[in-house]
Structure formats: C-alpha cells, structure tokens
Amino acid sequence: MSLKLGETAPDFTAESTDGPIRFHDYIGSGWVVFFSHPADFTPVCTTELGAFARRKAEFAARNTQLLGLSVDPLDSHQRWIKDVEEVGNTTFNYPLLADPDRSVAELYGMIHPAADPKVTVRSVFIIDPNKKVRLTLTYPPSAGRNVDEILRVLDSLQLTEGRKLTTPVDWKPGDDVIIAPSVSDEDARKLHPDGWKTLKPYLRTVPAPRA
C-alpha cells in the first residue's frame, strides 16, 4: 500500500514502549509526526531517536506528538532505548511502536522489497487533526533525517491551513508567503486589503500572517 497526500491515515492498534496505542485515539485533536526505523540497534536511527527526544518540546509547542516504529519486539526496544539515551544525552520521551509481524509497516507501505523485504524503510508521515496524511518522506538507509526540515514543513502546513496561501522555496517562519494561484486578484483584495507584491501574474507575495 502506498499512502497518498490527503488520504485518511489508516487506524491500527499496536504495543508501544508507553503501552497499547490506538492510532486515531493517539492523534486526538492534534498533529502527529509518525516515523519508522529499519531495525533496533542501527546507528543512524539511534542518532535520530535521540534528536527527536531532545526536541520534543518544539513539536509539542506546535500541538504535535511524536510516534516511532520499528519491526523489532518490545523487549528489544527497551534495551535499545538505553543506547538512544546514552548516545543522544537525553531521556526518551515518546512512544516507540513494536511491529514484529510488520502489520503496521505493511499498512503504511514502509516495507520496500527492493531495499530489504525484512525491515522497514525510513519513512516520515505528518498527520493532521482530521487524520489526513499531509506529508510523506522516504529516506535512504545512509542519510539521517533532518529534524529542522520536518519542523519547517510542519510550520508551513499549520500556517497555510485554510488560508489559501503557500510557502516558497527555503521558506522559514517570518518570511513572506505566496497567495495561492487559485485566488483571483479580486478575491485577493478582500483577503489582503493592504495589497501584495507581484513578481509574476501568477506569483504574488504577502507578509506571513502573525497567527
């Protein structure tokens, strides 16, 4: 299965390091960053788990929870977490799903036979409060994920939600944003009475909304 943007994230129930989790209940009224790891005791993923733990507060400030997954069993996770805390100089502070039968990994298309049919690829999903998939990323085994980029996209999604705005290349919070091309100039004048900067007829920028 390959999930597409805008689809409802499939529900599931699985054991985790924080106890049983039903995914849709876990999402609740917030956002979730859900990410998979090929296996426990793998070097790149050990650094990633620690980085997410250190920066959990930044996600929480965006009404976003973290959820990890590896296809190894729960007792293996518990041993691995000790390494994560030591290497990352942090306390592990979010759930890590155990998926030894690969049922969740299969549900989310995390198994890539061409890479390795036995382990998950390193996927990232951002799920919104309506349980819709808003971002998917798949990383190769050799490249660690970039937490700053995941936060940046999360900021973009939350800022533009319902506002008929988009964000340009390398956008960061505070930068100007783009009026969606689906908005006519007539409607744009109602939405942006202070006007906008026209770079091209289809490329109109305005200051980012404050909230």
The token pair that represents 92 in the structure block = 């592990």
Other CB atoms within 10 A of residue 106 CB? 13
How far, CA to CA in Å, does 20 sit from each of 25, 26, 48, 97, 156? 11, 10, 23, 9, 31
Query: Which of 32, 45, 97, 165 is flagged as catalytic?
Result: 45
Catalytic residue at 182?
no
Q: Which residues are catalytic?
A: 45
